[in-house]
Amino acid sequence: MISFEAVNKKFADGTTAVRELDMEIPEGQLTVLVGSSGCGKTTTLRMINRMIDATSGKVRVDGRDVRDVNASTLRRNIGYVIQQSGLFPHRTIGDNIATVPRLLGWDRKRVRDRVVELLDTVGLARDLAGKYPHQLSGGQQQRVGVARALAADPPILLMDEPFGAVDPVVRTLLQDELLRLQDELHKTIVFVTHDIDEAVKLGDRIAIFKTGGHLVQFSTPAELLTHPADDFVADFLGAERGLKLLSLTSLADVPIEPVTTVTESTSVAEARRAGDGWILAVTDNGRPRGWVHVDHLPADGVLADAEPIVAAGLTANASLLAALDATVSSPVGLAVRVDEDGCVAGVSSPQQINERAARFRAEVLVP
Amino acid sequence: MRWSWISDHAGELAMTTLEHSAIAAVAVLCGLVLALPLGVLAVRFPLLKGAVLGISGVLFTIPSLALFILLLPFTGLSYETAVLGLTVYTLVVLVRNTVEGLASVPPNVREAARAMGYGGTRTLLTVELPLALPVIMAGVRVATVMTISLVSVAGFIGHGALGQLFIDGFQRDFAVPVIAGVVITLMLALVADLLLVVTQHALTPWTRRGR
């Protein structure tokens, strides 16, 4: 566990980055520090591994004042991931990942095995070990950054806007991977971002900072969205707080209704007999293709010749927000549900989704 | 023109070329040994930076002949005077490139090293200097070519190696040694530069383009 007790940080130029901070970061959870620039979130993060020393107050890791620990020793036991990866450009991917294990004096074989294991863990091909960072894409470099931070299996991981410099598609992918990793590893992660959506998506707990180094609220995402501490927090969360809340719970408990599907190789004539309005076209192995109206089918040929309104399949892990979005985008107002293999399992209606949302709201809105 | 002078003096010419290379190499190496710590100090202590760059720059503006004459009272007409003078001239390029090379290390790489538990010395030796190498090597190439041509000036204190050929040819009003000296100096500079390019290529595998 990491704790801050009455911590202040004043820089030499007189600015106060962190003011009277009291905070306990729980073990094995992902805590997000969020706020606009100059709010002290990064300073707070960097005081944990003594990249910055507090002006007054105490920062403790597992009960020990970090000032009583040699800075280098402390840092070798805390993983650190920064923006744009910060990989050593002159070392291969394998050597980059091996940095801390080598500092700790692991033998060659153990280091080599660990590198291979970590490449697997972060979803990179093993043969990348011999490449140099500039030969990798931004997303791949960021994965290497995570692998390097995890190398010596530190209980704590500090991440300073790690996904800030990659494009939105890759960012979403990396966020999902981080959640998957955390599910397996249960590290104590402290994650800094200025993106509230990222915070809501990743955080078990969120700490909101205000310019001048004030911690304004420290709570779970649900609590934050339903009970913002003040107007500043409410503003920071944005106008769609209700919708963001729906991103916090999954479709798992929403019932699945049966739906008639028609495979793409079906002839148009046969497809017409399947229904008299919108029908759901699926690939031959059962994956959803989209909605097709029988009146808009071509004169002959097969269903694959028609141009469907694409419908993405939602797994049980998808959020209520994604489901609601799917119903709005569908011509029949239904969200298409798929099983773990990606095959169509049925559909869910907005009413069913709303019922689940209402129950979730009741759970979290308890004052 | 008596070109046969060249074949008559082949052995002598080879020795002189070797001597010329040795003087230049020792001067550049001495320069590097001085420039690296000076450059590191200049980057670590911004207050020193102006002084270090300023002094090495001012030394460079002293005319080469005058510099050798200034050194005479201390080291006389010796080999040391030649090497010392040439070393001083390499400093301006080598110090500046060391400073620039170290400054070109991306800040987030330096920060990552610190955050993973690297001390200052380890960061300098295993991260900063290797990454500064391409810029430092660019300086070494310029300094080397410059020094090879400057060695001739030390002919005035009797340690000009190939430069002695110019004096010899001029005094005897005989062009062949002068032409031979110029051609060999040029070739020496080209070969040295080529060797340095190959060395740099071998030392910095990460800078090679490729998938």
pLDDT digits (tens, 9 = 90+) for A150-164: 999 999 999 999 998
Helix then strand then coil, % of chain A, to nearest 5: 40, 25, 35
Rounded-to-integer distance, Cα A194 and Cα A8, Å: 21
Three-state secondary structure call for residue A250 = strand
For the beta sheet containing A16-25, the strands, ordered from the edge strand earlier in sequence to the opposite edge, are A16-25, A2-10, A56-61, A64-65
**Assembly ipTM:** 0.83
Asked if residues A42 and A28 have their Cβ atoms less than 8 Å apart, the reply is: no
Sort out which chain A residues have CB atoms less than 8 A from B102's CB and list them: none
pTM comes to 0.82
What are chain B's domains? 11-201 (1.10.3720.10)
Comparing alpha-carbon positions, the chain B residue that sits nearest to A91 is B206
Q: What is the CA radius of gyration of chain A?
A: 25
pLDDT band (50, 70, 90) for residue B209: low
With cut-offs at 50, 70 and 90, classify the pLDDT of residue A58.
very high
CA distance A353 to A350: 5
Query: Which residues in A lie closer than 8 A to residue B128 (C-beta atoms)?
Result: none
- Strand A335-338 to strand A309-310: parallel, antiparallel, or no bridges (unpaired)? unpaired
Query: Residue A30 half-sphere exposure, CB side, CA atoms within 13 Å?
Result: 22
Pick the residue of A88, A97, A102, A150 with the most B CBs within 10 A to test the interface with B by mutation.
A88
How many alpha carbons lie under 13 Å from residue A218 in its C-beta half-sphere?
14
Chain B interface, best mutation among A90, A91, A104, by max B CB count within 10 A: A90
Residue B36 has pLDDT above 50, yes or no: yes
Asked if residue B158 has pLDDT above 80, the reply is no
Residue of B102, B110, B116 for testing the chain A interface, max A β-carbons within 10 Å? B116
Q: How far is A33 from chain B (nearest CA, A)?
A: 19
Contacts of B131 in chain A (CB under 8 A): 89-90
* pLDDT digit string, tens, across residues B76-122: 888 888 899 899 989 989 999 999 999 999 999 999 999 999 999 99
Q: If we measure between CA atoms, which residue out of A253, A223, A247, A257 comes closest to residue A320?
A: A247
Chain B hits for A71, Cβ within 8 Å: 117
Q: What tokens does B167 get?
A: 């004096």
The encoded tokens of residue B44 equal: 């670590």
User: What is the band of A97 on the pLDDT scale with cuts at 50, 70, 90?
Assistant: very high
Mean pLDDT of all residues in A83-90: 89
Is residue A166 predicted with pLDDT exceeding 80? yes
- pLDDT of B211 higher than 50: no
**Distance from the A146 Cα atom to the nearest Cα atom in chain B, whole angstroms:** 12
- Domains contained in chain A, CATH given: 2-248 (3.40.50.300), 252-359 (3.10.580.10)
CA dist., res. B110 & res. A56, Å (int): 27
* φ and ψ at residue A297, rounded to 5 degrees: -75, 150
**Any A CB within 8 A of B119 CB:** yes
Q: In chain B, which among 131-150 make CB contacts under 8 A with chain A? A: 131
Q: Taking a C-beta distance cutoff of 8 angstroms, is the pair B151, B86 a contact?
A: yes
Q: Which residues of A touch B114 (CB under 8 A)?
A: 51, 75
What whole-number distance in Å separates Cα of residue A263 and Cα of residue A273? 13
In one letter, which amino acid is A88? F
* Percent over 90 (pLDDT), chain A: 67
C-alpha dist (Å) from residue B198 to B25, B136, B194, B195: 16, 15, 6, 5
Q: What is the mean pLDDT of chain A?
A: 91
A88/B210 touch (CB, cutoff 8 Å), yes or no: no
Query: How many residues would you count in chain B?
Result: 211
Mean pLDDT of A333-339: 93
> What is the sign of the dihedral through the CA atoms of A179, A181, A184 and A186?
negative
Contact A72 B211 (CB under 8 A): no
Residue A132, min C-alpha distance to chain B (Å):
6
| CB contact (8 A) between residue B116 and residue A84 | no
Cβ(A22)–Cβ(A4) below 8 Å: yes
pLDDT at A272: 84
DSSP one-letter string for B99-151: HHHHHTS-HHHHHHHHHTT--HHHHIIIIIHHHHHHHHHHHHHHHHHHHHHHG
Scanning A102-161 for CB atoms below 8 A from B yields 103, 132, 134-135, 148, 158
- Cα A297 to Cα A185, A286, A309, A333: the distances in Å are 51, 20, 13, 20
